[in-house]
Structure 1
Amino acid sequence: MKQDALAIELGDDWNQKKVSMLEAKAEIEPALLEKVANALKVPKEAIENFDTEKAINIFSGTFNYHDNDNASIVSNNAIVNPLDKILELHKEKEALFERMLKEKDEMIARLESLLKK
């Protein structure tokens, strides 16, 4: 997830720079870690126990690229078509855009309400 998208998921007082600073921290408060884990849709234990070297080894040992097989990626005998993955990512992007538009409309409505008062 990009830093901007994570900032949106974390709330109004977050931005890309603040997420970048969060990534640089050696330790994160438990409540904030829980909030980040929820935004990323992973258990907080996955973040607490994350090991970069193990993740790279698992990734490099699991995925093989086969150019002669319609540019498919083979993973544990499952074939993943890159075009399907691109379409899935596009749908996620559309959903995020729709949420952002909804939040913008809600913010405009709140501002108009405040201006009327």
Structure 2
Amino acid sequence: MPVLSVRTGTPYPPWRDPREATRLLRYALRRHGFTHTYQSNGNGMSVLSVLADLTVWCRSGLFIWNEEGRGACHPADDPAGAARLISRHHRRPIFGDIPSGGRTGSMARPSPVTGSVRD
């Protein structure tokens, strides 16, 4: 189980501060392949946009999101666990969705063999 360090004099542990809990969730989701997220904070809650059809709210010590048309939640003191649940139920980004012109290095598709000779 991961241990979160908290500086002395911190008014709230990270999971009590929605901004910090959401930041930790964002890092945990990154390890599951969700690399393009956007976080916004305000009014005692934090919102994380993960995919076009997935937004996670953090408030009152909980991460809250919609899963298959129903509400789902997970304690904000376990961002790694929330990331595992989210990654099980939502499509992970797939590199195959990137047009072949956008790939480089080991992810690039080889050019098709055409049998033609280039000058």
TM class by smaller structure: under 0.3
Q: Which has the higher helix share?
A: 1
TM-score (norm. length: structure 1): 0.22
TM-score (norm. length: structure 2): 0.22
Which of structures 1 and 2 has the larger relative contact order (alpha carbons within 8 angstroms, sep 6+)? 2
